[in-house]
Structure formats: C-alpha cells, structure tokens
Structure 1
C-alpha cells in the first residue's frame, strides 16, 4: 500500500511556544488515521500544517507527488498547489450564510478551480445526495441543523476533489443526538476508499473506522499503531492515563 501522505520532522512554533516538535508519520492511500490526545497537545496544529493553513517552520510534507520542504522558502504558486491537495472540514461549519447549500458547495470548484458551472452543479448534487442532503440544495445555512451544516461542509470539501481529507474535531460543536449522522458520513467515505486524517475525541469511532491511531502529547507523536494496540493495549503510561480519563470520566 503506497503512502499518499508522508510527514517528516515537522516543527511549528507560535512566538516562544514550540507546539510541534519533529512530527513524523505516514498515511497510506485509502486509509484513515485518527489523531487523539489532550487539549494543547498539537493535534489541530498538525492538521493545519497539512493544509498549510499554519505553515510549518521546518519539515517535509509530501501529498501524492507534491513534496514541500518548509525549512526553505516556499513560493506562492507551490503553496497554492499544496493547499489544493487536501480538503479541510473544521469544527465549525464556516458556510457562507448568504449562499444556498448548492452555492456553498460549488463556490470552490467554480471560483478557485475554474471548472464549468454545469459540471460543478452536477457534482455538487451527487455529493449532497451522498451526505443525505439532496433535498436541502436550495435552502440557506440558517435553515439547517448544526449536523446538517457540518455535512454540507463535508460535501464542500469533497467538491474540490482533493487527494486527502482532513477533519478537525468534526463533531465537537454538535448536540450529542446529531453526532451520529456526521460520523456515519465519515464512515461511508472511509468505506469508499478516501484517505483521511481525523482529529477526534470520539474514541469508539476511532476504534471502528481508523486504520492507525496517533496519540499526541506535548507536540510529539508519543504512540502510534493500529487501534487494537493503541486504544486497547497502549504501551505508553501517558496513553493509558489519557484513555482512562476519556473512557471512565467518573
């Protein structure tokens, strides 16, 4: 299985705060990597460096056939190409409130990628059907539940046809009863062969869907491996302590 994503020695600081300390890992094509860890461990920053929303200070990130060394100066064209390799789904939906659901989904393909509008609309309708929202195409974000807005956000990211899908705690802002609908969409994407990196606090979801789990603490990958090992028989005491607090909060 070939590696779609390789991350080597990624460093990131914000002022004097060193957030990532030499992060390295591989994500094979068609697999799901779950990233877990305590608040402040660097999970979201890792994800944002993969899309260069936060540009790494050092390290090499390769997505598909595009490799970028962030220790060197990266020109704008390369950075744009790099960002287009992945689609990002955030904690909050960030939909354009003045646009319909369909308009939100086609915005990137038409405006950024300059694809024909008719083609983008056809693709968008297929994607909305895939996430269970075909009948909501002409509604506005305020008419949707939080879970529905998040599923539109997933369709919008998929519409750019990225090689890699990135999810930053996609259910953390949702009411508990809406979480399942979003997780089912992500499970369907996994079954469809999408390559994904998911920052999540949903440990049971990670057990069911992930091919590998990374446990971050203090800006390093403290432990990694298949879910059966990391989540049920972790080697590191810090991993065991974290999981015990998550799974047995009382």
Structure 2
C-alpha cells in the first residue's frame, strides 16, 4: 500500500495516566476510504487510542500521521502543530456534546465559521445539506433538548462532517442511546462508509463491526492483540483472548 493510500499511520503510541500505562506501544494503519472498528473489553484502551488520533489525549511518545499531518509526540509538539493535526479529523462523542443554547443548525455551523472562518452562506448551505443527509432537514431550528438521543447523535455526526475532515472518529456512538435508537445512528455511519469516508469506530456493536468495517482492531491490556478483516478477527479469531471476549459479547447467557 502506498503512502497516499494510508489515511492514518500510528507507530509505537504510548500513553499513561499517572502510573497507569493505558497504551503500550500501539501501531496500526488505516487505508483511505475504509472503515475500522475498534473492539475490546472495558478498560482495554479503546477510547484512549481513539482520542490520541485527535490529540484530545496527547500521547507521551510515538508518531502518528492523520491525513496530511504527521506528529512526533516524543518531540513535544507545540500548539500550532497540534492545531493543524487536530484539523485533520472530526470527533463524534458518545454523549453528543452539543451546545444546549444553540440550534441544530448553529451547532453544525459553529466549527466552520469560528474555527475555519469560512464564508457564512457557503457554510450554511453545506450544513443544511448535511442535516438532510442524516435525516434531520426539518430540525435545523430545533434545540438539542427538543431532540431524541438518536437525533442528537446524528447532529453530532453532521457537526463532525461539516469540518470536512480526512478522518471521522466515533467514540462508542451508540452507548448512550436507548436500544431502539441505536439502529438509526448505525445506519448513518453505514451510509458514510458506503460513501467512502475514512472512519474509525470504537464500538460494542459486534454485528455492526462485522457487517460494516473493512478491518477490526481488538484491544486488550493496552495493546492491539489482533487485527485484520472482520471475517478473520470476528469470524475466526486467532487469539484465545479474542474468542473469549466475543463469546461473552455474542452469547451473554
């Protein structure tokens, strides 16, 4: 695979919180236009791994290239370098993180207007198109409290896409939702994968990971224990620990 075909290239990423080493030299690549699912038990480092890709959690060491920006975190990058790096990706939080005092449309346009300082009419037009894409064209003037959890999460997705990122990062996007609302959010993510966006999704939805992702990373104990296509990692895992985890998730009783 050529360098241009790789959207994310992470090498020897380490991250500790106090004495707790959460990531222990993690390395992986994500091809452009692919969907990667990150699965594993709670506390295995999934969310921290995702957050390092947007420098929400700045790694202690290692090198990551996201889109057009590569950062050597061992060299203590400055604020300007981190800002350029963060601009390569959009982040969808599990708890929506919408501005409660702003309308749906204002939430989606905030980043392009304030951070990217793009023309207002262009931003508004693109935001309305994104809201239509996620099935919320009729909710542009609503406030977050007027929306269901699933609708709020779809606004969060539109907000991330409005920044035109090279990579979209999803941190357990359905974990805060009622079970009946999970499908509508997963459907939007599936459509994005079909359209060729580069996606990384931390998820407990194993069947979604099996059906939508191009590759699966199984994390445990701060390392990637197994990675490969879903038919391999989920369908025929090589590691006993992966098999044990999937057995508990897929057959909980």
Same fold flag (TM > 0.5): yes
**Unaligned segments of structure 2, at least 5 residues:** none
TM-score, length-normalised on structure 2? 0.98
Aligned with 2:36: secondary structure? strand
Q: Could you say what secondary structure the match of 1:71 adopts?
A: helix
Matched, 1:244 2:247: yes
Separation in structure 2 between the aligned mates of residue 243 and residue 229 of structure 1, nearest angstrom: 12
Aligned to 1:215, the other structure's residue is in SS state: strand
Query: Residues 68 and 88 of structure 2 are in contact (CA less than 8 Å); yes or no, is this contact kept in structure 1?
Result: no
Q: Which blocks of at least 5 consecutive residues in structure 1 are unaligned?
A: none
State the Cα distance separating 1:65 from its structure 2 match.
Answer: 2.5
- Root mean square deviation, CA, Å: 0.6
1:83 CA displacement: 0.5
User: Runs (4+) of structure 1 moved beyond 4 Å?
Assistant: none
Q: Is 1:9–2:12 an aligned residue pair?
A: yes
Provide the C-alpha distance between the structure 2 equivalents of 1:228 and 1:185, rounded to a whole number of angstroms. 22
Question: How many aligned residue pairs are there?
Answer: 250
- How far does the alpha carbon of each residue in 1:64-91 deviate from its partner, in whole angstroms, 9 at most, with x for none? 2211000012011110000010000011
- Give CA deviations for 1:20-53 in whole Å, capped at 9, x if unaligned: 0000000000000000000000000000000000
How high is the TM-score relative to the length of structure 1?
Answer: 0.99
CA distance in 2, matches of 1:205, 1:137: 29
1:147 aligns with: 150
Which residue of 2 is the match for residue 78 of structure 1? 81
1:157 counterpart residue number:
160
Indicate the residue corresponding to 2:45 in structure 1.
42
Tell me if 1:169 matches 2:172.
yes
